[in-house]
């Protein structure tokens, strides 16, 4: 999958610096085991979470290819054990021309383990992968 305009590394830097003016956000670099560039589960996700403002930004190769910049996500829940983020990617070309995908990333704090699930909106099936996230410093 080709990126339009800028590389994923530059886009990752955009996510990291988007809220740097105030407090430094927590930036997770997540790599699902089943991630592939030709799959709805991508090889890398970058999730930026600003605990002060609550802002969540998400980026991956599909987002860069279709939207061209990170998209808004949502903090679903946070505990001492894990942090859960949700986001929806709309207008992704699929078998019915346009499909929306609902994503949920569960990041476990003790070991950085990732549990990712992706559901096409309006359908019963679900894609999932385990993986690992590191916190960028």
Between CA 113 and CA 109 the distance in angstroms is: 8
Does some domain include residue 2? no
Are the C-beta atoms of 88 and 121 separated by less than 8 Å? yes
Does some domain include residue 42? yes
**Nearest one of 103, 98, 18 to 60, comparing CA atoms:** 103
Counted domains in the chain: 1
Does some domain include residue 35? yes
Return the pLDDT at 14: 52
Domain with 29 in it: 8-136
Does some domain include residue 1? no
Does some domain include residue 30? yes
Does some domain include residue 3? no
Q: Record the pTM.
A: 0.80
Does some domain include residue 22? yes
Which CATH number does the domain housing residue 116 bear?
2.40.128
pLDDT of 124 strictly over 90:
no
- The DSSP call for residue 44 is -
Query: Residue 99: which pLDDT band, with cuts at 50, 70 and 90?
Result: confident
Return the pLDDT at 13: 52
Does some domain include residue 17? yes
Q: Mean pLDDT of all residues in the chain?
A: 85
């Amino acid at each position: 999958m080709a990126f339009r305009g800028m590389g994923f590394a530059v886009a990752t830097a955009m996510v990291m610096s988007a809220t740097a003016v105030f407090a430094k956000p927590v930036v997770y670099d997540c790599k699902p085991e089943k991630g592939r560039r030709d799959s709805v589960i991508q090889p890398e996700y970058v999730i930026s979470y600003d605990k002060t403002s609550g802002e969540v930004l998400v980026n991956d190769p599909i987002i860069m290819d279709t939207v061209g910049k990170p998209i808004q996500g949502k903090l679903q829940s946070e505990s001492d054990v894990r942090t859960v983020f949700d986001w929806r990617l709309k207008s992704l070309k699929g078998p019915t021309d346009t499909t929306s995908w609902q994503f949920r990333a569960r990041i476990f704090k003790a070991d950085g383990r990732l549990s990712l699930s992706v559901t096409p909106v309006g359908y019963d099936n679900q894609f999932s992968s385990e993986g690992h996230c590191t916190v960028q410093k």
